[in-house]
Amino acid sequence: MYTSIMKHVFIAAMFSVLASHLTATLGHAHDYTVRDLKIDHPWARPTPGGAKVAAVYLKLINKSNEADTLVSASSTLGTKIEIHETTLVDGIAKMRRRDSGLPVAAKSTVSLEPAGLHLMLLGLARPLKVGDRIPLTLTFQSRGAVEVKVNVEKAPAAAKEPEHHHH
Ligand SMILES: [Cu+2]
C-alpha cells in the first residue's frame, strides 16, 4: 500500500519535471489572450537568497475596442502584489504604488518593464530560480481573473538594467 502510493507520487513528480522541461524548451512563445487582450510573456529575474520581494514584468496588448483595467494581482508564492511605477525624482529612481489599478485603453499596449511599471511581489515564500514558473492571477475589471505563469529568467538583452552609479 505504502510503496504503491510512493510509486504513484514518484511517477507524478517525474511527469511534472518532464512537462516543465518540455515547456521550457518550446521556446519563447508564452502568452495568454482573453477577448483580444494579450498578456505577453510574464517574466521575473531570479532573486538573491534572502530577498522578500520580486518584480514581475509583462506586456498587455489590447487589440480589441474594449478598454479594461488591471485592478489587482496575486500569487501563491507571495503574500501580496502591488502595481508599482518607477519614476526618476531628482535623478533617483523611486517606486510608487498605484492603487487605482492599471488602465489598458482600447487598441493600446502597456509595457511593464525594468525601470518602469512592474508588479511587485511582496512576502516572497522562497527565492526565484532561473527556470521556475510562478503562478500569477491577474484580475481585470471587465475580463475578470486570468491565470498565467511567470517565467523566471535572466533579463532579456532588450530590457537593459538602468545604470548603477557607484560613488
Ligand atoms: Cu516595486
CA distances from 19 to 26, 101, 150 (A): 11, 34, 16
3-state helix, strand, coil in the chain (%, to 5): 15, 45, 40
Q: Say how many Å lie between the CA of residue 87 and the centre of ligand 1.
A: 10
Which residue has 521556475 as its cell numbers? 132
Q: Say how many Å lie between the CA of residue 56 and the centre of ligand 1.
A: 9
Residue in 125, 157, 148 with CA at minimum distance from that of residue 51: 125
Distance CA 85, CA 37 (A): 21
Q: Say how many Å lie between the CA of residue 94 and the centre of ligand 1.
A: 9
pLDDT tens column, 54-103: 999 999 999 999 999 999 999 999 999 999 999 888 989 899 999 999 99
Q: Say how many Å lie between the CA of residue 71 and the centre of ligand 1.
A: 16
Q: Computed over its alpha carbons, how large is the radius of gyration of the chain? A: 18
Q: Say how many Å lie between the CA of residue 7 and the centre of ligand 1.
A: 43
Q: Say how many Å lie between the CA of residue 158 and the centre of ligand 1.
A: 20
Stated as kind and residue range, the H or E segment containing 103 is strand 102-104
Q: Say how many Å lie between the CA of residue 62 and the centre of ligand 1.
A: 24
Q: Biggest alpha carbon distance in the chain?
A: 67
Kindly compute the dihedral angle of the four CA atoms of residues 135, 140, 145, 147, in this order, to the nearest 10 degrees: -30
CA distances from 84 to 40, 65, 96, 112 (A): 18, 26, 5, 9
- Please list the pLDDT of the chain residue by residue as tens digits (167 residues): 455 555 555 555 555 544 444 444 445 579 999 999 999 999 999 999 889 999 999 999 999 999 999 999 999 999 999 999 998 889 898 999 999 999 999 999 999 999 899 999 999 999 999 999 999 999 999 999 999 999 999 976 554 454 443 33
Any idea which architecture 30-152 has in CATH? Sandwich (2.60)
Q: Say how many Å lie between the CA of residue 35 and the centre of ligand 1.
A: 28
Burial code (b: 16+ CB inside 10 Å, e: under 16) for 28-46 equals: eebebebeebbbbbbbbbe
> Under a CB-based contact definition with an 8 Å cutoff, are residues 117 and 82 in contact?
no
Q: Say how many Å lie between the CA of residue 44 and the centre of ligand 1.
A: 12
pTM here is 0.76
Cell numbers found for residue 158: 532588450
Domain ranges of the chain: 30-152
